[in-house]
């Protein structure tokens, strides 16, 4: 038992990638093929190890970029998932990372500077 056991520590990394998509259900211009510069922030929660870190920033960045983000970069997102909204992309990134052994606690995806979707794991009962 340590005096910091009541604290929750989160480490975050940010990424940018560029991709095209279309949203067939959209009543406006977003039904047409167009692109975004996506910004992604991923969180890892956990206890500090003997080095005093949750996870090494560089290690997290390299894993998430290599396993999850780079395969999306300069692609058509509709080839990776149906109906690639920011919400569905955030879930896709969390699940893809999970499948690669990277346990993210939350993912935020900015589709534009003003619009973002976020997903996080529900607290376990
Ligand atoms: N809840 C969501 N709504 C919308 C999403 C989404 O992912 N989740 N996505 C879109 C489109 O992808 C659209 O391209 C988003 O563009 P918009 O926010 O309109 O941004 P613009 O840069 O095109 O803004 P303007 O100011 O209108 O030029 C739509 N909705
Ligand atoms: Zn769009």
Q: Is residue 17 part of a domain?
A: yes
What was the pLDDT predicted at 71? 98
Q: What mean pLDDT do residues 52-63 have?
A: 98
| Ion ligand 2 residue ranges (Cβ < 5 Å) | 30
* Burial of 20 from C-beta contacts in 10 A (0-12 / 13-18 / 19+): middle
The pLDDT tens digits of the residues spanning 5-28 come to 889 999 999 999 999 999 999 999
100 Cα distance to chain centroid: 13
Is 16 designated active site? no
- What distance in angstroms lies between residue 66's CA and the mean position of ligand 1's atoms? 27
Residue 67: inside a domain, yes or no? no
ipTM: 0.91
Confidence band of 4 (pLDDT split at 50, 70, 90): confident
Total domains in the chain come to 1
What's the whole-number mean pLDDT along residues 43-65? 97
**26 CA: nearest ligand 1 atom:** 29
Place of tokens 């093929």: 33
Structure tokens at 16: 């940018």
**Does some domain include residue 63?**
no
Q: Which residues pair with 110 in a beta bridge?
A: 39, 116
In terms of C-beta density within 10 A (0-12 exposed, 13-18 middle, 19 or more buried), how is residue 51 classed? exposed
**Residue 4 sits in which domain range?**
1-53+86-125
Residue 59's H or E segment, with its range, is helix 57-64
Say how many Å lie between the CA of residue 26 and the centre of ligand 1: 9
| Residue 37 Cβ < 6 Å to ligand 1 | no
Q: Is residue 73 part of a domain?
A: no
pTM of the model: 0.95
Tokens of 30: 């977003």
CATH code of the domain containing 105: 3.30.479.10
Catalytic-residue membership of 30:
yes
Residue 36 resides in a domain: yes
26 tagged catalytic: no
**pLDDT tens per residue across span 84-124:** 999 999 999 999 999 999 999 999 999 999 999 999 999 87
Domain assignment present for 8 = yes
């Amino acid at each position: 038992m340590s005096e910091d056991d009541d604290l929750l520590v989160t480490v975050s990394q940010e990424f940018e990638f560029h991709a095209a998509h279309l949203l067939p259900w959209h009543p406006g211009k977003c039904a047409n093929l167009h692109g975004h510069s996506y910004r992604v922030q991923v969180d890892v929660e956990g206890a500090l190890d003997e080095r005093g870190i949750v996870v090494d920033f560089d290690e997290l960045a390299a894993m998430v970029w290599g396993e999850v983000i780079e395969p999306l970069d300069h692609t058509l997102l509709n080839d990776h998932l149906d109906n690639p909204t920011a919400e569905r992309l955030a879930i896709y990134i969390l699940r893809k990372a999970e499948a690669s052994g990277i346990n993210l606690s939350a993912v935020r995806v900015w589709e534009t500077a003003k619009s973002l979707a976020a997903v996080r794991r529900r607290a376990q009962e």
